[in-house]
Structure 1
Amino acid sequence: MQRRTLLEKADFACPIVGTCLTISELRRICRKFGDLVPESASAYEAHVFLVGQAKLPGSPATKYLQKYLDKKYRREIRAFFKTEDEATLRRMWRERADAGDVPGAFWALMSHPGATDSLLRDVYGEVHMLSHQVGAANRADLARLAHLEDKLAEANAALDESKVVLRQAVAVWKSRCHKAMEELGLERSKRQAAERERISLRDAIEHSAVAAVRRDRDILSDQLRENTERLQATEAEAARQAVLLERLHGELQTTRQELADRDSEVAALEASLFAALGEAAVAHAAHAEHHRDDLAPHEEHLHGQCPVDCAAKAGLCPARAALAQGLPPHTAITGKRVLYVGGRASLVAHYKVLAEKFGCQLLHHDGGREQSAHRLWELLGCADAVVCPVDCVSHEACTLVKQACKGCLKPLILARSSGLSSLARSLAELGAPAQ
C-alpha cells in the first residue's frame, strides 16, 4: 500500500502543521527557504506560509516537510501501518491520545492509506477541539500563574523574616554551646587530675616492698609446681620410651633372624630351580631325539645352512642354540632380546643364564637405582619384550615402562616377584605360541 502524501491531505494541512511541528521546528524549516519568510515573521506567519506551501503541487517546502514528518514520526508510522482495520486504528489513536502522544499518532493516521474519511474527520475534530481547550487552559494557567507569583512573593518575604529569626536563634545557640564547651573543658581537666592522682596512689601501693615480696613468692611457687609436674611427666615418658625401645630391639632381632632364614630358603629354592631347569633341558633333549623327524627341517642350522642370514647376528643362531640345549627350536622369544627392569642386583648373572636357557638375550636395567632414565629409553628401543617385577622396581620406572610398551606395542609382563622362578614363568609366557 502507498502511503498518502501531505499534498493529498492538503485540506488537513493546517492542523497537521500546527499539531505535528513545534514553534522552533516551524521557524527552522522556514529558514531553509531563504527570503520567503523574513526573520521578523511571527509564528503565525510562518505557520500560514507552510500551510500554503503544502497545498502547492511540486513545492520544495512540501517535499521537505513530508520527509521531515516521516523521519520524525517513523516509529508511529510503522506501528499504524501494520493494520488496516478501522476499529484497530481507532483503538490505537485513543490509546496514544489518552497518553498525550497526539502529534505522532495524528500524522500516522493522516498518511495511512487505509484510514477512512469518517475516521479522519473524527480525529480532525478531536484535534481541533483539543486546540481550543488547550488555548482556554493556557489562559486559565496564566491567571493561576499570576496569582501564584503573588503568593510566591509573599512566601519569600515570610521566608526572609524566618531567616532573620533563625539567624538570631543560631547565634544564641552558638553562644550557649561555646559556654557549655568551656564548662566541659574545666570538668574534663578536673577529672583528669583526679585520675592521675588515683593512678599515682595505685602505683605507690603496687610498688611497695610487701607487694613485691608477695608477688615474687607466688611466682616462684607457680614455677616450682610447673617444674615438678613437668619432671614427673618426663620421667614417665622416659620409662615408656625405654620399654618401647626394648620391645623394638627384640622385634628387630627376631626380624633379622627371620630374614636370614628366608634368604637361606631363597638360596635353596634357586638351587632347586637351576637343578629343575637342568632336568628340563635333559628332558627336552630326549624329546628332541624321539622326534628327530620333526626337527629335521632345522638341522640345517646345525650345519651352517640357515635360511636367513644368522651370521649378521652376534653369537650362534638362536635355533641352533635352542637345539643344543634341548629346548624347542622355535618359540616366540627365540633369538629375541628381553629387557628386565628392576630386580635384585645379586641375581642379575642368574637372570641372564636363565634367559640363555630359553634361547633369548636378557638386557637389564636396575629400575632407577643407579642407571638413568635415558639409559632405560635406549634399552627399550632395542628390546623385543619387557619383564618388570613389581616388588623390586621404582614407581617412576614402572610407569615409564608401561607408557613406552603401550606406545610401541611391545609385550610387557608385570611379574609378581623378582625371583628366578617368577622370571622363568614370565619367559615361558612370552615364548608360548599365540592362541
Structure 2
Amino acid sequence: MDTIIAPATAPGKAALAVIRVSGPAAQPMTQTLLERPIPWIPQRATLVRLWDRGEFLDQAVLVYWKKPHSFTGEDVVEISCHGSPYIVQKMVAAYIARGARFALPGEFTQRAFLHGKLDLTQAEAIHEIIQAQTPAALEGALGIHQGKLRNKIVQLRERLLGIVAHLEAYVDFPDEDVPPLVQKELEEALDCLEQELEALLRTAPVGKILREGVVTAIVGAPNVGKSSLFNALLREDRAIVSPIPGTTRDTIETECQLGGFCLRLVDTAGRRKTDDWIEQEGVRRAEAALAQADLVLYVIVAPEPEPEEVRRLLPPPGKVWLVVANKCDLGIHPDHRDRICVSALTGQGLDRLQEEIVRQLTGGLALAKEGWITINPRHEGLLRRAQEGLQRARTAWQEGASLELVSVDLRESLQALGEVIGLGCREEILDEVFRRFCIGK
C-alpha cells in the first residue's frame, strides 16, 4: 500500500492539531523533515523541529508506531503540532511533495480492518463513537467496539458451522460411520439459532433511535399545557406559556437528552377548528409534525374527564403514542387513574413519564444489564438473510429434501453471518461502509 496522510483533528484554529501518516514510507518521509536524526523508539513521544527545504515548519511532538503494533497495522507517525490551519496545510503539503497521498474518508480505519486489527462491526463502531450525542448512544457504540456484537456473531456462526460440517460429513463420507442428525435435534438447533437472531433483530429500532434521535411531537387541544410540558422536559422557558387559547401559532423545535436518548421535541399549536387563518396554518403544521414523529405525547387535562377525541384515537402504526394527563397538581379525574399523570408546573410525575418513554422506545428490552448491543441497517439486512436461510433449511428438512439442499440454505446463513463481521465482503460494500467516516479516521 502507498503512504497516506491526513489531519486527525477537526479543521479550524485550535491549540493543537494531530496529523497522522500511515504506510511503508511514513518513517523515511518524516526523517527528511527532521532538523537532526532521532532514535526511532516506538510509542515514545519525542520533541522535534520540522523543516521543509530550508523553511521552518513547526516544533512538534512526534510519536512513532511500528507495525504491526499500530492502529492501522502499518508503520504510523503521529505529529502533534500547533493548531494553525496554515501550519497543518504546510505540514501535509511537505509529505505530499515526498510522495504521500491525502487519505480518503475512513481510509485509516479501512486499513486497520484489512490488516486484521478489528472486524467490520468494530470499524463501524468507531464512526458511531464519533457521532454519539447521548450516553446511551456512546454506550452502544463502545459495546460494539469492544467486540460484543462480534463475539455474538462468531458464537452463532461456530454453532451453525458445526451443524453444516456434520451434515456434509454424513453425505460425503458414508463409509466413515458419521452418525446422522435426527430430525428433532436439527430442528431444535435451528430454532435456537433463529431465536437468538430474532433477539438481535429486535434491537434494530433502538439502534436507529440511538443514531438518529427521536422526533417527539407534543400535541393536544389548546390550553392543555403542551408548551408547559415542552419547557418542563427541556428544563428551560423556551416556549411562550399563556392561558389564552391559540398562543402557539407555529411549531417550535429543539433537542434534549432524556434517559440517555436524544429527543427532538416539537411543540405544536392546539388541535381545534378555528376561523383565524394564522392559527389554521399552525394546526396544519401540527398535523404535519404528528405525521413525521417517532414519538407522540398526546396531552390532556388530568382534572377533567377523558376527552371524546382520546376515545377515538387510532395511533398510527410504527409510532410510540403516549397519552399524558397534565395539571395533576389540580386533581386527577377517575378516568385517568391508570394514565401517566404529570404536572408540568411542579414537576410531579415527570420521572415516571421519562421511564415510560424509555421503556416504550426500547420495546422493554433490558439492554443496559449487559451493555447496549444494537444493530445498524447493514447488520439487520444480513441477519434477516441468515434467518431466512435457517427457515428455508428447516422447511426443506421437514419436507424430506436431500441433505445437500438443506446444507445449501445453511451455507447461505453462514455467508450472511460472516459478512456482518466482514468475512467475504465485496470491495464495493467495504467502500460504502467506510466512505461515511470523517477524513483522518
TM-score by length of 1: 0.18
Q: Which structure carries more strand by proportion?
A: 2
Q: Greater relative contact order: 1 or 2 (C-alpha under 8 angstroms, separation 6 or more)?
A: 2
TM-score by length of 2: 0.18
Whichever of the two has the greater Rg, that structure is 1
